[in-house]
Amino acid sequence: MAGGPPARLRYVAMLLRDPRVSKLPRYLVLLAVVYLLSPVDFVPEVLNPVFGFLDDAVLLWLSLRWLIKSDPTPRPPGARVVDVTDRTFRP
């Protein structure tokens, strides 16, 4: 996706507000963010710092991936998402 992290955050925010997107992926992303911020973990960072942060990151990544794949905008297979607000000149 063109545009970098700010464009990706806008895209995810747009999908979270889109009523055509199923509720389950939207709720899962919100629950993943709450889980990331909560002190309760499946694998505590105190016992194993690498896997403690890794389970948070994997859960958030999987939920975001499901949300993006449930985008209702029709696209041909293999098409790339182009950010139309990108103002950089590319010859």
**Contact in structure between 52 and 44 (CB atoms under 8 Å):** yes
Report the C-alpha gap between 63 and 74 in whole angstroms. 21
H-helix or E-strand containing 5? helix 4-17
pTM over 0.85: no
pLDDT in tens, 24-70: 999 999 999 998 888 777 777 777 778 878 888 899 999 999 998 99
**Contact in structure between 69 and 27 (CB atoms under 8 Å):** no
